[in-house]
Amino acid sequence: EVQLVESGGGLVQPGRSLRLSCTTSGFTIGDFAVTWVRQAPGKGLEWVGFIRKKAHDGTTEYAASVKGRFTISRDDSKSIAYLQMNSLKTEDTAVYYCTRGYCSGGSCYFADAFDFWGQGTMVTVSS
């Protein structure tokens, strides 16, 4: 069974840092891109960023709202992906989901969709 489990959320002051983890099982994480999506309380979904699989150089892409502050990494040997969040702002308050990138065919440099999601972890940025 494919599973993704986020952890590391909590309450943090503005300007501080937090690292989220996405622990996966039931599939070989090395064969997939991992994407982070967030949802502010009562709001819609927002794409945060993703990391490609090693076969695609493991490069990353980020939304403009987090670029330069957030960093995604992966440790395929541990089946874990990470979201390092620095210089946090109150507007970063959200549930953060990690997802698996799905490709129907082709090079898959960019995923077609996000087929499995974790349950999410809440990050609250407040003084």
Partner 1 sequence: QSALTQPRSVSGSPGQSVTISCTGTSSDVGAYNRVSWYQQHPGKAPKLMIYDVNERPSGVPDRFSGSKSGNTASLTISGLQAEDEADYYCCSYAGTHTIYVFGTGTQVTVL
Chain residues that interact with partner 1, rule: CB under 8 A: 35, 37, 44-47, 50, 61, 63-64, 97, 102, 104, 110, 112-120
Dihedral of alpha carbons 9, 35, 81, 22, sign: positive
Q: Which is nearer to partner 1, 46 or 76 (CB)?
A: 46
CA distance 108 to 123: 30
CA distance 32 to 116: 11
Q: Which is nearer to partner 1, 77 or 107 (CB)?
A: 107
Report, in Å, the least distance between residue 77 CB and partner 1.
26
Tokens 């991992």 sit at which residue?
34
CB 70 within 8 A of CB 89: no
Report, in Å, the least distance between residue 83 CB and partner 1.
16
Report, in Å, the least distance between residue 13 CB and partner 1.
27
CA distance 10 to 60: 25
* Token couple for 16: 């501080």
Q: Which is nearer to partner 1, 27 or 116 (CB)?
A: 116
Q: Which is nearer to partner 1, 106 or 127 (CB)?
A: 106
Report, in Å, the least distance between residue 7 CB and partner 1.
14
